[in-house]
Amino acid sequence: MKRGIVFFLVGLILGTAGALVYAWLIDPVAYYDTTPPLMRADYQETWIRLSVLAYGAEGAMERTRLRLSGLPEARVRAVLERTLEDVVAEGRPLTVLQRIAELAKLYGLDTTSVRIYTDSGEFELTPDTVTLVPFTPTPSATPSPLPSPTLTLRPTLTHTPSPPTPKPTFTASPVPSPTPTRVFTSPYRLLEQSPMCKTRPVITLTVVREVTQTVRGREQLEQVGVPGLEVWLLWDDGADHAITGLRPDEGLGYADFAVEPERTYNLYLASPMGVPVASLHVRPCTGTEQGAWMGWSLLILQQVP
Amino acid sequence: MKQFFLLLLGIAGGVGLGLLIGWWLWPVTYTNTSPANLRADYRDEYIRLIASAYAVDGDLGRAEDQLAQLNPEEPNVPLVTLAESLIERGAPSSVIIPLVQLARDLGTVTVVMEPYVQGGHP
């Protein structure tokens, strides 16, 4: 009887081994007809990034939702956030930025870039700086086709959650008018953007306006610094601001910021809303200046309407 | 004879046990696959995504690498095949043009694609 059990066990081992050799070596599992959620993590991230960029190009929301369905939401959010920061830093077209920010918002992201490009009208900075009250388009008895939004700055030292803001309402008017549209026409234009390699990176800027001066009977166009202008620098989780002209030895339109390496900054003038004047990434310098970081020097023109 | 029978019984039991483990107790989980293993419709979608993303970021090297994940030897083949197939099926220009533009930049425009080069419509 004992011998019989031994034969049975030997057979069992041989059978199991044979089945495993067949399953693992002779005819191993072939992966085909899989779906994106079954892909390796890095391929999933590529799929998500491509879907996000494609949404930026096409704007097909339902299709994008389908493309992203079944993928881990945390991964989608992380890649979405990264992709949005990348396209902002690369200076992609505004429609692309707005679409991707809109998608990011739908997935519950609430970063500075999302707030800027979704243009929700609600903009809250870090508690120790200032809170910006949402813009409220000013209704008038005879509304103009393009009501200009006004922005009120209200400095505060403590963080107070902003109350729910009523949607802007426009009073009815007997005169038919087109749907109010907010148009961003920045009065500031970036003329020059030069890299500067320093061990402690800085972003410096000079804001100028063009004036016509008559010299010996001839008219000349000259650039003069614009003092007293508020400059905002926004990044992922913070903001800073400065006023031009506080260092007159550098020029009336001059302001600067100390910045951190490997960070992307959006620069705004007058108010931190709408489209940034410049998006700047502080990256390592290469070549002979290794160890230094690439800051930026900007020359910005204030266009007089 | 009885011992031989027991041996066969053991082998049969072993095969059964192996299959029980492989198919029920510890089944294969399809994870960590690559884009090359995607179902045909997802593969097509992947190629479309690569072309659309290329239209935004203009990174040709990256687009080529991503296409190579589908066909490492001839990365352009899946792109050309899909573009031509969509043209034959009369797909909208908005779908075809990004594919043709990527094919053009990779230097693989075919006669069928010609009318769509430069964002044109046939």
Give the pLDDT of chain B (122 residues) as one tens digit per residue: 788 888 888 899 988 888 888 777 776 666 778 899 898 999 999 999 999 999 998 899 999 999 999 999 999 999 999 999 999 999 888 889 999 999 999 999 899 998 888 654 44
- The predicted model gives A226-234 an average pLDDT of 86
- The predicted model gives A46-69 an average pLDDT of 93
pLDDT in tens, A88-125: 888 888 889 999 999 999 999 998 888 888 854 444 43
Helical (H) or strand (E) element with A146: none
pLDDT confidence tier of residue A29, bands split at 50, 70 and 90: low
A19 touches B at CB < 8 Å = yes
pLDDT for residue B78: 94
Tell me which chain A residue has its CA closest to the CA of residue B94.
A58
pLDDT confidence tier of residue A176, bands split at 50, 70 and 90: very low
Is B75 in a helix, a strand, or coil? coil
pLDDT for residue A247: 76
- The predicted model gives A240-258 an average pLDDT of 85
Q: What is the DSSP letter of A262?
A: T
Q: Rounded CA gap, A205 and A193, in Å?
A: 9
**Alpha carbon of A74: minimum distance to chain B alpha carbons (Å):** 18
pLDDT for residue A242: 84
Q: Rounded CA gap, A81 and A114, in Å?
A: 9
Other Cβ atoms closer than 10 A to A114: 21
pLDDT for residue A150: 41
Strands A293-302 and A188-198, by their bridges, are antiparallel
- The predicted model gives A256-285 an average pLDDT of 85
| Cβ atoms of residues B116 and B100 within 8 Å | yes
Q: Lowest-confidence range among A59-73, A210-224, B18-32, B80-94?
A: B18-32
Q: Rounded CA gap, B78 and B63, in Å?
A: 13
Torsion of CA B96, B98, B103, B107, to 10 degrees: 130
Measured CB to CB, residues of chain B less than 8 Å from chain A are 2-4, 6-19, 22, 28, 30-35, 37-40, 42, 45-46, 48-50, 52-53, 55-57, 66, 69, 94, 98
Q: Which residues from A are below 8 Å from B9, CB to CB?
A: 8, 11
Q: Where are the beta strands (DSSP E) in A68-217?
A: 123-124, 130-137, 149-155, 188-198, 202-215
Q: Lowest-confidence range among A143-147, A184-188, B85-89?
A: A143-147
| Cβ atoms of residues B122 and B97 within 8 Å | no
pLDDT for residue A206: 94
- pLDDT above 70: residue A293: yes
Compute and round to an integer the Cα radius of gyration of chain B: 24
Q: Rounded CA gap, B56 and A84, in Å?
A: 12
Q: How many Cβ contacts (< 8 angstroms) between chains A and B?
A: 142
pLDDT confidence tier of residue A143, bands split at 50, 70 and 90: very low
pLDDT for residue A116: 83
Q: Rounded CA gap, A260 and A294, in Å?
A: 10
Strand partners, A4: none
| Cβ atoms of residues A204 and A278 within 8 Å | no
- pLDDT above 70: residue A166: no
pLDDT for residue B45: 95
Contact B34 A39 (CB under 8 A): yes
Interface test with chain B among A16, A64, A67, by most B beta carbons within 10 Å = A16
Sorted by sequence, the CB contacts under 8 Å of residue A277 that are 6+ apart come out as A186, A188, A189, A190, A267, A268, A269, A298, A300
> Which single residue is written with the structure tokens 């094919």?
B103
Q: Which residues from A are below 8 Å from B32, CB to CB?
A: 39-40
| Cβ atoms of residues B42 and A45 within 8 Å | no
Which carries the bigger pLDDT value, residue A43 or residue A149? A43
| Average pLDDT of every residue of chain A | 77
- pLDDT above 90: residue A158: no
Strands A293-302 and A202-215, by their bridges, are parallel
- pLDDT above 90: residue A136: no
pLDDT for residue A147: 40
Sorted by sequence, the CB contacts under 8 Å of residue B33 that are 6+ apart come out as A31, A34, A38, A39, A40, A43
- Characterize A52-76 residue by residue with b for buried, 16 or more Cβ atoms within 10 angstroms of its Cβ, and e for exposed: bbbbbbbeeeeebeebbeebeeebb
- pLDDT above 80: residue A82: yes
Residues written for chain B: 122
